[in-house]
Amino acid sequence: MPDTGDILRLENLEVHFPIQGGLFDRVLGRPAGVVRAVDGIDLTIGHGEIVALVGESGSGKTTVGRVITKLAQPTAGRLLFEGADMTSVRGLSALRPYRHHVQMIFQDAYQALNSRHTVFDIVAEPLRSLRLVENDAQLTERVSEALAAAGLNPPGDFFARFPHELSGGQRQRVVIAGALAVRPELIVADEPVSMLDVSIRAQILQVLVDLRDKHNMALLFITHDLPLAWLIADRIAVLYLGKLVEIGSADEITFNPRHPYTVALRDATPQIHTDADRSKLPALQGEVPSAARVPKGCRFHPRCPLAFDRCRQDEPPAIEVGPQHLSACWLAN
Amino acid sequence: MTDFSKDNAPLLEVDRLSVDYSLKAVSARAIENVSFGLRAGEAVALVGESGSGKTTTAMAIAGLLSANALVSGGEVRYRGERLPIDDDAAMRPHRWSETSVVFQGAMNALNPVHRIIKQIAEPCRLKLRMSRGEATARARELLELVGIPADRGTAYPHELSGGMRQRVMIAMALACRPSIVIGDEPTTALDVITQAQILKLLGDLRSRLNLALILITHDLSVVAEACDRVMIMYSGRIVEDGTVGEIFAKPKHPYTKLLIDSIPNPAKGKRMIRPIPGDPPNLVSRPSGCAFHPRCPSAMAVCTTEVPSLDPLGCGRVACHLHQSLTQEDKIAAHA
């Protein structure tokens, strides 16, 4: 395909986890089930593009992030990075060049940092293990650069400090600095601000946006918060039970959502200014079903206020409903 | 004149309450001079970041302060009578029967080895001296009240989703028919759609049972959906108090303004939110004067030395030197 603009491409990606049946099931020869965590998604991320992956817990958004960073192995589909098929590349040394280009920021900065290492060692760790520096002077320079880019200034003040001496916002910056140190081209950020105080969030988001603006870094921003996704992303992809239900530009998804689930997400988000055009659809009842028992037809139909016969039978394909705007809903036709 | 209207007398009065925590060598003041009233059926929110003292305030009201906490000043009155908030045993008749708490982590707050119906029935048996049969009947009634079919009562906590568990927590809090429910971040760990369902449930219960609600949260947008009044806390003090409409439409304190600005709001157009510079102060080394002054875009000379008092303004209260009568020197200093 001629899309050379894409840094990352997911093609029909599937991650199914087998359920270990009990002894009773095995004796009776009952087949073990599967949890369809990610159930066939197509997604591209361009160079320097910020894509937000939005979904509730259990939607599979974190699993997608883990596949991209090669922390989970897909059961089907392909993962292409700069056109090269990375799906079956495994093993520490084979993945070293890839890890140099793709980094992950985890949600919980309290757990992601080794409490017995200094900030310097934490940020230096990926540089050392990926063998990106030749001497100590270079190492110090790269660590300083990463800390400064993550907004920890002056960097020298933080070298000898331990995570417990830092505030929550500073800790999250150290996590970001660790990811930045190797100068990646793509960062997968899994809920990077959800644990932070509101007044700190904007600072961290600013750091991420600056990285894109200055270094043309691409970002996959995983979140459950639609307004936050709108704030930071160029495009938003909405995930429900392992499948993308809608994808489009941040403005299109926010102001002109075409899938009932996206509309429900928008309506459920508490707002400080009540708009007149809200709550056109009744609020959703119930919860996301288990990924081990994905409903037949459209997987959203049991909760969809607009579901009709066809939704219970056939799974809707993603259909273009606007420029660069796809929605997997029979009503979109 | 003598017949004080019952509707107007606050159900709960928090009067100049201060609480200190003693840490290894130092003592940290968690809240200072916190005063507010709560009427029957009223829903107020305590909003602040971690370390702002919102949870300490609420736990003090429920008499659930930790062992190293000391009530160093002020008092809490319930229906006009002083509550023994620092005496665990003396608080026991009051707690759950008058004031109950819905805790944040519904995953950890429920006992994993007991069926939920038993856990809901337990306070009824212990506090209301019900027989086993009566208590179970009451528990089934409570489950239906929070929107769980009573037959699901035989489930264990791990068999329920996060939203259902939070409903169980609410049912337990309502078991002894309290008049005040304190919700400590009751929706923080939940997904948006579940959060909306729980907020709606709390609102419905409030109007059906005439509950007073104290909602502790760091999320201002949740407040807009669920409360009448909001108090913004910063570093142990209330900095602004007002109706939800007033606070969102015309915030007075610079901190409140910045907090509101940091909520992404698609309706307001693009895009990047204005970051609040700096980090929240820690309790041991609190800045002098107004604790917000190192981060405040409109800080003046007086802010670094004098703590602003929480004075009435409009229909609310605000603690900010910008809204107090300024001396001439301060005005000059502010423009310099």
A212: domain CATH number is 3.40.50.300
Q: Which of A33-37, A233-237, A243-247, B289-293 has the lowest mean pLDDT?
A: A33-37
- Tell me how close the Cα of B75 comes to any Cα of chain A, in angstroms: 30
Q: Is the pLDDT of residue B326 over 70?
A: no
Q: Is the pLDDT of residue B332 over 50?
A: yes
Determine, yes or no, domain membership for A320. yes
What number is the average pLDDT over the span A288-292?
85
Tell me how many domains chain A contains: 1
Determine, yes or no, domain membership for A1. no
- Residue spans of the domains in chain B: they are 12-98+178-335, 105-177
Residue B129: CA count within 13 A, CB half-sphere: 1
- What are the tens digits of pLDDT across the range B194-204? 888 889 899 99
Find the CB nearest B271 among A231, A270, A272: A231
The band of A194, judged by pLDDT with boundaries at 50, 70 and 90, is confident
Q: What is the pLDDT of residue A77?
A: 94
Report which of B59, B55, B172, B58 is spatially closest to residue B111, judged by C-alpha positions: B172
Determine, yes or no, domain membership for A141. yes
Q: Which stretches of chain B sit within 8 Å of chain A by CB?
A: 49-50, 161-164, 191-197, 199-200, 218-222, 224-225, 248, 258-260, 262-268, 271-277, 279-280, 282, 295
Q: What is the pLDDT of residue A263?
A: 92
The Cα–Cα gap between A179 and A126 comes to 8
Nearest CA in chain A to B276: A199
Select the residue from A166, A204, A287 to test the B interface by mutation, using most B Cβ atoms within 10 A: A287
Burial of A42 (C-beta count, 10 Å sphere; 0-12/13-18/19+) = middle
CB interface of A with B, residues 96-135, below 8 Å = none
| Cβ of residue A205 closer than 8 Å to a chain B Cβ | yes
Residue B156 sits at φ, ψ, to 5 deg, of -90, 155
Q: Which of A276-285, A294-303, B90-99, B305-314 has the lowest mean pLDDT?
A: A276-285
Range of the domain at A139: 6-332
- Say if the Cβ atoms of A170 and B262 lie within 8 Å: no
What number is the average pLDDT over the span A234-246?
95
- Tell me how close the Cα of A292 comes to any Cα of chain B, in angstroms: 15
Helix (H) or strand (E) segment spanning residue B21: strand B12-22
Q: What is the CATH number of domain B12-98+178-335?
A: 3.40.50.300
Q: Which residue has the tokens 């591209």?
A: A44
Q: Give the angle B163-B145-B207 at the CA atoms, nearest 5°.
A: 100
Q: What is the pLDDT of residue B259?
A: 87
Report which of A50, A61, A1 is spatially closest to residue A245, judged by C-alpha positions: A61
pLDDT more than 70, % of chain A: 95
Q: Is the pLDDT of residue B1 over 60?
A: no
Q: What is the pLDDT of residue B106?
A: 63
Find the CB nearest B193 among A268, A271, A274: A268
- What are the tens digits of pLDDT across the range B56-103? 999 999 999 988 999 999 999 999 999 999 888 899 889 889 999 998
Q: What is the pLDDT of residue A230?
A: 92
What number is the average pLDDT over the span A187-215?
87
Q: Which residues of B touch A170 (CB under 8 A)?
A: 279
The mean pLDDT value of chain B amounts to 87
The band of A289, judged by pLDDT with boundaries at 50, 70 and 90, is confident
- Say if the Cβ atoms of B193 and A265 lie within 8 Å: yes
Cα dihedral angle (A35, A65, A202, B55), rounded to 10 degrees? Answer: 40
- Say if the Cβ atoms of A199 and B262 lie within 8 Å: yes
Determine, yes or no, domain membership for A146. yes
Determine, yes or no, domain membership for A10. yes
Nearest CA in chain A to B259: A199
Report which of A211, A139, A217, A123 is spatially closest to residue A171, judged by C-alpha positions: A123
Tell me what ipTM this predicted complex has.
0.80
Report which of B255, B191, B197, B267 is spatially closest to residue B225, judged by C-alpha positions: B197
Find the CB nearest A231 among B164, B191, B273: B273
| Cβ of residue A168 closer than 8 Å to a chain B Cβ | yes
- Tell me how close the Cα of A197 comes to any Cα of chain B, in angstroms: 6
Q: Which residues of B touch A254 (CB under 8 A)?
A: 266
The band of B18, judged by pLDDT with boundaries at 50, 70 and 90, is very high
- Say if the Cβ atoms of B280 and A199 lie within 8 Å: yes
The Cα–Cα gap between A316 and A136 comes to 56
